[in-house]
Amino acid sequence: MLKLASIATATAAAVALTAPAQASVTIDITQDPAPCSITDPICTFDFDAVVQDEGAFEATGTFTLPQFGAASGSITTTASFLNGMLNGNIDFSEIFLIDPNMTVIDFALATIPVGTSELELGAVSFDAIAGEYTLVARGTNSNGPSGFGGDLTFAAVPEPGTWLMMILGFGAIGFAMRGRKENVRRISVNYA
């Protein structure tokens, strides 16, 4: 009997010490223009997710950048007020991007007090490379369903060959304008 009691105690302790399960949430990501391509110098990725269950969650989504350039983005929680109370409250523990080289790019997080609760904000700015990126948001949700959303803006940086052609084009236009001599007549008008 003592052996059975010690097995039951060990099982209860193991269950109590187990880390809580995280809900898996998919981040919906849409592109404008869709798809983002090399011919579009600027494109935006809008994203949003709804966390239905209370407790810990991890949300992920992927998108692809066509070439290197500059990128920046922001994220914020969304919630509604019901009877003066915040319905749904997400507390982010971390938000980050994983680039094609598996480098982690962290969002800077901030908290803004709203009534008796808080809204979470995040921002990021980075030099982007071509390839697939994964957006990961981790945190906890309380007070019912809640969500978060934001955007990432990508601006392509022209390749060196493009810069060279542009500079040569400006030089050719300047040379052509300098070499052109216009025949200008001056007319003077005298009033008596």
C-alpha atoms less than 13 angstroms from C-alpha of 57 in its C-beta half-sphere: 26
In sequence order, the 6+-apart residues with CB closer than 8 A to the CB of 98 are 104, 105, 133, 134, 136
- Separation between Cα atoms, residue 45 and residue 23, nearest integer Å: 24
Distance, in Å, from the CA atom of 112 to the CA atom of 72, rounded to the nearest integer, reads 21
The span from the CA of 25 to the CA of 92, in Å, is 14
Strand partners for 138: 58, 94
HSE-CB for 124 with a 13 A CA cutoff: 24
Burial class (CB in 10 A: 0-12, 13-18, 19+), 63: buried
Tokens matching residue 80: 């509604």
Q: For the chain, 192 residues long, give each residue's pLDDT as a single digit of tens.
A: 555 445 445 444 444 444 455 677 888 888 876 667 667 778 888 998 988 888 899 999 998 888 888 889 999 887 666 666 667 778 889 999 999 999 999 999 888 877 666 778 889 999 988 899 999 999 998 877 888 889 988 887 766 777 778 888 888 888 777 766 666 677 777 886
pLDDT for 96 equals 94
The predicted pLDDT at position 89 comes to 78
- DSSP E strand stretches across 100-130: 104-106, 108-114, 117-128
Residue at 181: amino acid letter: K
Angle at alpha carbon of residue 68, lines to 66 and 74, rounded to 5°: 85
Q: What is the pLDDT of residue 19?
A: 45
d(CA 106, CA 96): 4
